[in-house]
Amino acid sequence: MCGIIGVVGRGDETLDVVLDGLSTLEYRGYDSAGVALSTPGLDVQKRAGELENLRDAIDAGETAPAGSVGIGHTRWSTHGPPTDANAHPHVDESGGVAVVHNGIIENYQALRDELASEGVTFDSDTDTEVVPHLVSRALGDGLDPEAAVRNALDRIEGSYAIAVVLADEERVFAARNDSPLVLGVGEDATYLGSDVPAFLEHTRDVVYLDDGEFAVLDPDGWRVTDADGTPVEKSVTTVDWSAEQTGKSGYDHFMLKEINEQPTALRQGLSGRLDELAGRVTVDQLDGLSTPGRIQFVACGTSYHAALFGVEALRSAGIPAQAFLASEYATGPAPVTDDTLVVGVTQSGETADTLSALREADARGAETLALTNVVDSTAARECDHVLYIRSGPEIGVAATKTFSSQLVALSLFTAELAERDGADSRELVAALRDLPNHLQHVLDESNAEAVVDEYLGSESYFFIGRGSAYPVALEGALKFKEITYEHAEGFAAGELKHGTLALVTDETPVFAVVTGDDERARKTIGNVKEVEARDAPVVAVTDGASDVERYADAVLSVPETHPRTAPVLANAQLQLVAYHMANRLGRSIDRPRNLAKSVTVE
């Protein structure tokens, strides 16, 4: 969470570069924003609220912040409410040291008490503010700027990505520990960001920092050392997506753009991974993977719903599998054996809880695999194996195309393992080949907007499904609640009668995901009849195979397809329901309240 941008080498353009970088990072936090520019002096401006508030304050001032070196920050609050005082950057009492920080400093209270006892006055409620005071104290003790920053870092415990600028210093000092930080290498300038979009407009060449590394950006370029100051050789990677891909491309919201990008994202995820002639899945990234005896998934939020889909797919193929919330696994891990594979499902590859769970699994001797979207992310680098979903950049806080891509990647993963035991994947391969076109049809023909108009203003919204439709029901409810702020819950359809029916009324529409015509579909129709008997309106998301439409008040149609690909199509309809409902209610769709895109704190 939170976004960091830094730049050295852009001269008079520094302020504009920093502000534009913050604009591309607002999906990481939008409680407040601020900038600090150095040389000459040190000029800091910050404001609570969205970035526009900061821009307005700068425009209204007599002079704009000036300098050739700059850092900026957009915040998702952890310590202290979103106020001007709690916004980053934070400075020392002299105003000569400015710091931006992502993460949590666990020993900040002890450091704050120590500094207060020495006469330091604090202006904020944040944990971050101890850092500039520690740097200032080290400078007062005679240390040079780099040594002073290192000294401060030695004192703090916890997770952090930190950037520091000093008055009259043409350098940015930066370090990471359990929170992402990446350098951008331009022809005449060097950039720093918590995510690549921060500087993608200026360069696609990047250097990913690892935990414990310290970077210095200056007019001559950049250098990276370890915590002891020993130089570290770092490779420069060129990212394979452009600044244009992170724009809205004429759409009103990133979320709608990314929903409509799903057919393209799935084609990217499937490219080179289907042997249609042989009817087999061929995922080169899995070639070195041992055949596991059991699989444990660890994930959070939307990725956890994808993991539940993976469990269902693997168990159907006869492969033992379980899914765990990463936050629970990290503190109470399940037993692992020599043949256990732990799969971390994480869009960003930086999700703190998932990384902690993967590290715990590794420490216990499990083989690990990262299923992620971001090349060279922390999860990708730390795990034994990686499977990229290849969905491209996703800016909207509510995950859409990355969830669909996760489902497809997990279908490929399952088929690859099942084929090792002689399973026939011909029908699945054919369905995956057709999936992008089927998905495009759903997006083109959806009547979700009309369904939303019918049920706008309802009391609550319930989503139900069985088997692989159950994770889709959970995800549909999550999407709905996180961008509409309306009450929504997802359930395994059979659980309705174990308590939830008490909440069902004629003001609680029930979205039932029913595809195919197997026993699960027929049992779900039984659950539909139960809510219909309580006067609840029913919206069926269906391919028509089970005849559930006759019991529904409205229908969201999907093409008939393989059981493994049907959930992707049903999910797209529910994404559109959530989007149009939020749009009707005037919600902040791309930046829902209290949420951020990448959750990098536990």
| Distance in angstroms (rounded) separating the CA atoms of residues 166 and 481 | 43
> Is a pLDDT exceeding 90 seen at residue 596?
no
Percent of the chain with pLDDT over 70: 96
| Distance in angstroms (rounded) separating the CA atoms of residues 253 and 243 | 17
597 in active site: yes
Same-fold call for 247-440 versus 446-588 = yes
Give the pLDDT confidence score for residue 243 in this predicted structure: 60
Alpha carbon distance, N-terminus to C-terminus of the chain: 11
| Distance in angstroms (rounded) separating the CA atoms of residues 470 and 476 | 10
Tens digits of residue pLDDT in 162-172? 999 999 999 99
Structurally, at CATH architecture level, domain 3-245 sits in: 4-Layer Sandwich (3.60)
Structurally, at CATH architecture level, domain 446-588 sits in: 3-Layer(aba) Sandwich (3.40)
Strand partners, 184: 191, 206
Tens digits of residue pLDDT in 540-579? 999 999 999 999 999 999 999 999 999 999 999 999 999 9
Extract the tokens encoding 584.
């009707």
**Which residue out of 46, 257, 479, 597 is catalytically annotated?**
597
> Is a pLDDT exceeding 90 seen at residue 593?
no
Q: How many CB atoms lie within 10 A of CB 366?
A: 25
Q: Tell me if 70 sits within 8 A of 22, measured CB to CB.
A: no
φ and ψ of 254, to 5 deg: -60, -40
**Which residue out of 2, 46, 383, 479 is catalytically annotated?**
2
Domain ranges of the chain: 3-245, 247-440, 446-588
| Distance in angstroms (rounded) separating the CA atoms of residues 149 and 174 | 9
> Is a pLDDT exceeding 90 seen at residue 591?
no
> Is a pLDDT exceeding 60 seen at residue 416?
yes
Tens digits of residue pLDDT in 219-248? 999 999 998 999 999 999 998 766 666 677
Give the pLDDT confidence score for residue 599 in this predicted structure: 60
The DSSP call for residue 229 is S
Extract the tokens encoding 266.
């799935």
Q: Tell me if 377 sits within 8 A of 348, measured CB to CB.
A: yes
Q: How many CB atoms lie within 10 A of CB 223?
A: 13
Give the pLDDT confidence score for residue 602 in this predicted structure: 53
234 in active site: no
Tens digits of residue pLDDT in 206-217? 999 988 999 999
Say if residue 514 is exposed, middle or buried (CB neighbours under 10 Å; 0-12, 13-18, 19+).
Answer: buried
CATH number for the domain formed by residue range(s) 247-440? 3.40.50.10490
